[in-house]
Amino acid sequence: MRRSDPADYRKSHLRPGIGESYQASYRDPYRSLFWELEKRILDRILVECLGDGDVHHLDFACGTGRILSHVAGRARVSVGIDVSPSMLAVAKKSTERSEIYLADLTTNDILEERKFNLITAFRFFPNAESALRNDAMRVLVRHLDEGGRLVFNNHKNLASVKYRLARLRGRGGFRGMSLAEASELVSKNGLEIRKSYALGFTPASDRHMVIPAALLRRLEGGLSKWPAIKPWGENVIFVCRRAEGA
């Protein structure tokens, strides 16, 4: 196994008890609201991309099982993988239908030759360092079935309103991912972005609602329909498939 350094994202969720505290953070008004919006997008993707067919779902870096448990009821096969025992302890409580594994696929691919027509990876890639992003994407593409979809999000879009304002205020030191980096990550691994969705056009924080929730829900719903401002959303969700000829 490769040596980890202090910036290695693999180590970020290993401390005891982090699973419960992370799960509790989704009771915060802002995160709770945007999780509701994310679920609507996931439902649309399931219908538009997979229709009535069987869903074989892999949730990479599944954490406490938020995405995993939402899709599990629709999936014939449901698999979640993460490196954090604490996070997985919570995930096991949220879904009994899923296979849940403690593993780092980038160093020990326990899935061997298994294929999935839906692979998700939320709140992972913009947090990870460049080398880990590439290692993760490479192994996920290996397990993507022909015609399947890989869905991941960039919840720290560096071009978003929130991050632009942070830079104007002289704030720095945060990790994120640009849209160009996301596009390059996809293309260099033989994928193409077929569709994208964006949320988070208002510069709020996880714990502080700048706008009342009811108004924010309507505002986000309206803004998300404008393709021209999609690059300004803090949370961009990409739907990818294998590129033709890849």
Q: pLDDT tens digits for 41-68?
A: 999 999 999 998 999 999 999 999 999 9
Structural domain contains residue 1: no
CB 213 within 8 A of CB 34: no
| Run of H or E residues at 30 | helix 29-45
The CATH number of the domain holding residue 114 is 3.40.50.150
**What pLDDT does residue 174 have?**
67
Structural domain contains residue 142: yes
Structural domain contains residue 61: yes
Tokens of 80: 């979640």
Structural domain contains residue 104: yes
**What pLDDT does residue 7 have?**
72
Q: pLDDT tens digits for 132-175?
A: 999 999 999 999 999 999 999 999 999 998 888 878 877 765 67
**What pLDDT does residue 173 have?**
58
Q: What's this model's pTM, rounded to 2 decimal places?
A: 0.93
**What pLDDT does residue 215 have?**
86
Structural domain contains residue 236: yes
Tokens of 95: 């879904």
Low-confidence stretches of the chain (pLDDT beneath 70): 1-6, 172-174, 203-209, 246
Structural domain contains residue 10: no
**Backbone angles phi and psi of 16, in degrees to 5:** -60, 140
Structural domain contains residue 6: no
CB 176 within 8 A of CB 194: no
Domain count, the chain: 1
CB 185 within 8 A of CB 159: no
CA atoms within 13 A on the CB side of 190: 15
**What pLDDT does residue 205 have?**
63
- Which range marks the domain in which residue 124 is found? 16-242
Cross-strand partners of 81: 60, 101
First CA to last CA distance, the chain: 29
Structural domain contains residue 126: yes
> What's the 3-state SS for 146-164?
EEEEEEEEECCECCCHHHH
Cross-strand partners of 116: 144
